[in-house]
């Protein structure tokens, strides 16, 4: 089985860079920033990966015009997509329709059309709890969609700092595998607990302790076979790890086997330009970073309430990993990192290169002509590259086993079942 990849919502190429480090071949990509006259992320992607066929077109337009924008067959589909409203409804024609403009439905259209053996997606960890009024519904709808397309799903919330990286960045990774893969068949022979503690992709790549967290007990549940009922009635808080096979799901709070992380101090540059320093007037910064209680009035109801928030470390400690970096990193903002420069002893912002290092990108990866402010923005949107490389290496071992299966099927003189026929139908 070939190791070919298509990358959706490619950004500046974090998935590509990570998988390339594990020997995968990205053959097609799509990156489109709505409402932007200049497509800086796409331009960066093309400057770093000129050999790839990469489209700068709205993915919905790509799906609507398959003859104009053909998507190649592939082994693995990857992408980091926005967290949106995933609710679905029944149409008058007794079909199923999702919310318009939700990019996950565009992903599902490609999966339905191309039927890749494997899918790897990334999102913010709050996806598992959204929306607030119906906890877990959005993710449950995603799981039901994958099930209806013929896939099992494994998921894991990963904090990059738990496995040796310099940023406390929490993201949920979602691994889907087609029901006719050898990997799917092997998991069905295992208990859910063994999958999450050693047999699954994520536990192989990122080991966990034998015991789960006692603070959040695990649960099993059968997902309703009607996706509309899932959308209307599902309400449970998913744990940080889980597995779905057919309609049975199991989720638990696993405990990572920690790897000593890099620290913020280790990724700092030397001889930093003075433009990144805060200067002597720190009143605004002290206010933003400090604890506060502010009386407010609701604009909609007129209700009076007190807004309160705790303090943020000011400056950020250099002997710990950095906090989660946001797209607002370059601005004067409560969430922006501020460090005391080891050389000068003065307070300053992180440089673009330091932000790239926080996400495990090579230095100056985004220094391709885009404005400096947008360099920060792209890193606030990016994933930690090294995590993807580790996943890619584990996926490589899974693919090798699939290749053995394919060889056996190919040498079978007669196809005796629909399952064997389906195994031969992959175009990779």
Q: 167 versus 408: which is more confidently predicted? A: 167
Token pair for 249 = 């799901």
Six token digits for residue 59: 């993915």
For residue 70, name the pLDDT band (cuts at 50, 70, 90).
Answer: very high
Tokens of 417: 């079942």
Structure tokens at 64: 């609507």
d(CA 151, CA 156): 17
Tell whether the model's pLDDT for residue 92 goes beyond 90.
no
**pLDDT range class, residue 229, cuts 50, 70, 90:** very high
Element holding 25 (H helix, E strand): strand 25-30
Q: Check: CB of residue 358 under 8 Å from CB of residue 386.
A: no
**Both structure tokens of 156:** 């894991």
Ranges 302-316, 373-387, 400-414, most confident: 373-387
Catalytic (active-site) positions: 83
Q: Is the N-terminal amide bond of 196 cis, ω within 30° of 0?
A: no
**Helix, coil or strand: residue 300:** coil
Q: Using DSSP, how many helices (H) and how many strands (E) does the chain show? A: 14, 16
181 three-class SS:
coil
Predicted confidence band of residue 300 (pLDDT cuts 50, 70, 90): confident
Give the range among 241-250, 254-263, 285-294 with minimum mean pLDDT: 285-294
CA-derived radius of gyration, the chain: 23
Query: Helix, strand or coil for residue 208?
Result: strand
* pLDDT value of position 96: 54
The per-residue pLDDT for 102 is 82
For the chain, the first-to-last Cα distance in angstroms comes to: 7
Dist. CA 215–CA 217, nearest whole Å: 6
Between 57 and 414, residue with greater pLDDT: 57
Read off the pLDDT of residues 126-161 as tens digits, 9 standing for 90 and up.
999 999 899 999 999 999 999 999 999 999 999 999
* CA 110/CA 36 separation, integer angstroms: 25
**What domains sit in the chain, N to C, each tagged with a CATH number?**
4-259+384-423 (3.40.50.150), 264-348 (no CATH)
CB 320 within 8 A of CB 344: no
Please give the model's pTM, rounded to 2 decimal places. Answer: 0.91
Lowest mean pLDDT among 83-97, 158-172, 265-279, 287-301: 83-97
pLDDT for position 423: 38
Separation CA 222–CA 247 (nearest Å): 5
Question: pLDDT per residue over 13-64, tens digit each?
Answer: 999 999 999 999 999 999 999 988 999 999 999 999 999 999 999 999 999 9
Residue 97 has pLDDT above 70, yes or no: no
Give residues with Cβ within 8 angstroms of 13, minimum separation 6. Answer: 7, 29, 44, 45, 48, 49
Is the pLDDT at 417 greater than 80, yes or no? no
| Consecutive H or E run containing 292 | strand 292-297
Between CA 190 and CA 193, with CA 192 as vertex, the angle to 5 degrees is 100
pLDDT in tens, 356-369: 999 999 999 999 99
The CB density around residue 371, as the number of other CB atoms within 10 Å, is: 11
Return the DSSP state at 334: T
């Amino acid at each position: 089985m070939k190791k070919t990849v298509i990358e959706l919502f490619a950004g500046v190429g974090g998935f590509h860079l990570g998988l390339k480090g594990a020997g995968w071949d990205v053959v097609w990509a799509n990156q489109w920033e709505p409402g932007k006259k200049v497509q800086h992320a796409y331009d960066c992607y093309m400057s770093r990966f000129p050999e790839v066929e990469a489209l700068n077109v709205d993915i919905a337009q790509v799906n609507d015009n398959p003859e104009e924008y053909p998507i190649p067959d592939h082994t693995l589909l990857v992408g980091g997509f926005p967290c949106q409203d995933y609710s679905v409804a029944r149409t008058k024609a007794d079909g199923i329709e999702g919310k318009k403009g939700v990019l996950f439905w565009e992903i599902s259209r490609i999966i339905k059309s191309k039927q890749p053996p494997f899918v790897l997606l990334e999102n913010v960890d709050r996806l598992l709890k959204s929306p607030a009024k119906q906890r877990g519904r959005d993710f449950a709808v995603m799981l039901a969609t994958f099930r209806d397309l013929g896939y099992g799903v494994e998921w894991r919330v990963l904090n990059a700092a738990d496995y040796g990286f310099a940023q406390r960045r929490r993201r949920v990774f979602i691994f889907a595998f087609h029901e006719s893969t050898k990997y799917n068949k092997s998991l069905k022979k295992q208990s859910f607990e063994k999958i999450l503690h050693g047999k699954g992709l994520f536990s192989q790549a990122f080991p966990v302790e034998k015991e789960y967290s006692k603070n959040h007990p695990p649960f099993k549940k059968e997902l309703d076979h009607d996706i509309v009922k899932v959308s209307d009635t599902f309400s449970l808080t998913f744990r940080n790890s889980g597995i779905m096979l057919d309609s049975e799901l199991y989720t638990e709070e696993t405990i990572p086997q920690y790897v000593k992380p890099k620290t913020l101090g280790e990724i700092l540059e030397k001889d930093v330009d003075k433009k990144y320093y805060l200067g002597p007037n720190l009143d605004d910064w002290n206010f933003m970073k400090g604890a506060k209680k502010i009386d407010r009035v609701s604009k909609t109801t007129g209700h009076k309430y007190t807004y309160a928030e705790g303090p943020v470390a000011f400056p950020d400690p250099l002997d710990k990993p950095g906090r989660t970096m946001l797209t607002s990193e370059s601005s004067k903002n409560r969430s922006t990192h501020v460090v005391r420069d080891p050389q000068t002893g003065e307070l300053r912002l992180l440089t673009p290169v330091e932000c790239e290092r926080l996400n495990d990108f090579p230095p100056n990866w985004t220094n391709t002509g885009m404005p400096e402010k947008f360099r920060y923005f792209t890193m606030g949107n990016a994933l930690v590259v090294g995590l993807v490389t580790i996943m890619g290496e584990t996926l490589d071992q899974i693919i090798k086993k699939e290749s053995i299966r394919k060889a056996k099927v190919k040498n079978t003189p007669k196809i005796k079942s629909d399952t064997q026929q389906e195994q031969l139908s992959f175009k990779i």
